[in-house]
Chain A
């Protein structure tokens, strides 16, 4: 029961974009088409899950015993960059279809603050291995949900009449703000 509640809270109440404001760059940058937004979301889910697993292992088994917790940021960046490279090579060889679907977004995730954010948050909240990985996966699914919703709205916006001064980015930012308010409604759900 606890686990299920935790998953729901990761996706809805503690949504990475609308509640923690992490990963806003790809959220606005890659959300003009539903198709690319989905690719990006899946790529993020992929990387965030693996990154939280490895970050937890390195932190608990290497950094904490040696009292090097202050090195977390740099160590996590190293891990994430290495992992993304590895995943890219692996996908290119074994799943070329998925590799070409993710395309440029996979390497872009190396420098995504949501991925680093989930690793540091796991440490800050003191999650165990299971909860760290769950947090990684379901926070990323929350990101996927948010970016796909946003892409859907933006596709509709393309064909609607918008005042000249609001076209493009202004209306996207207003939309994002309204969606964040809507997501605040989930507060208190869990």
Chain B
């Protein structure tokens, strides 16, 4: 019994001594931190996502107080956070930018996009993409192994029927998924932009159609239909300029491949 007691006591004493030294040291070596740093830190989203370009929220807060980072640098905190930080710093938040969200530009769900083989390996898009060009025939398609989901610090991404689904209300446009996706399927766009071409297949129409039922074949009917000159067809697929688009949805109505969606 005694040896166990001794062991416990010795450890407790060592711990206590170190505790006392550290307490003492924290008083002696106390460094005054600008209190604005702590305040700014509290206004950040706190996910340490790194979208601001600084190592974590602490780094961002320090940079804001030093005047190196803009007050609206924390994208996940949004306009609300920017306003609070601006109030602390006594600066203007600047023109309010429209909230951005990440969108998945692919509709290649199971049964729509042709599968090349059944992938049964390590569950990662980056890995699957290297095995014979990926498990789907379309080389632009969402692979659906959830690399973006793993990188999302806000739980906004779920996998449905083999493609990623992003919840607009939870997305903070930090861009972590955009960087994680090996296929560049995810793009940031204004939250109000509900009309979008959900395909990036730049193959010729015949090939694009043969790998996916919902592929954009670059026919240009949407471009003709658009009265606002917002649509261009380049590299075999259509894209919409969010600055010119009025969200009228006329293009979606005429798209023969149903790859322009309005929801």
- Using a CB–CB distance below 8 Å, which chain A residues touch chain B? 58, 62-63, 66-68, 71, 74-75, 78-79, 82, 85-86, 89-90, 92-94, 104, 165
Contacts and interface: CB of A to CB of B under 8 A. Distances in A.
B132 interface: no
16 contacts: A66-B10, A68-B3, A68-B10, A71-B10, A71-B11, A74-B11, A75-B11, A82-B21, A82-B22, A85-B22, A86-B22, A89-B25, A89-B26, A93-B30, A94-B29, A165-B130
Nearest to B9: A66
B25 A66 contact: no
A93 B10 CA distance: 31
Nearest to B56: A104
Contacts, number: 46
Interface string B1-21: 001001100110011001001
A93 B55 contact: no
Contacts of A104: 55
A167 B31 CA distance: 44
Nearest to A58: B14
B15 A89 contact: no
Interface size class of B (residues with CB under 8 A): 10 to 19
Contacts of B31: 92-93
B50 to A, nearest CB: 13
Contact of A92 (B11, B29, B130): B29
A72 to B, nearest CB: 11
A62 B14 CA distance: 10
B29 A93 contact: yes
B18 A79 contact: yes
Contacts of A90: 25, 29
Interface of B: 3, 6-7, 10-11, 14-15, 18, 21-22, 25-26, 28-31, 55, 130
- B contacts with A: majority SS: helix
Nearest to A96: B31
Contacts of A82: 18, 21-22
A71 B7 contact: yes
Contacts of B21: 82, 86
| Centre residue among B29, B55, B130 by max chain A CB count within 10 A | B29
B6 A78 contact: no
A84 to B, nearest CB: 11
A74 B12 CA distance: 11
A85 B18 CA distance: 10
A75 B10 CA distance: 9
A71 B6 CA distance: 11
Contact of A63 (B10, B18, B26, B55): B10
Of the candidates B3, B25, B55, the one having the most CB atoms from chain A within 10 angstroms of its own CB is: B25
Nearest to A67: B3
Contacts of B130: 165
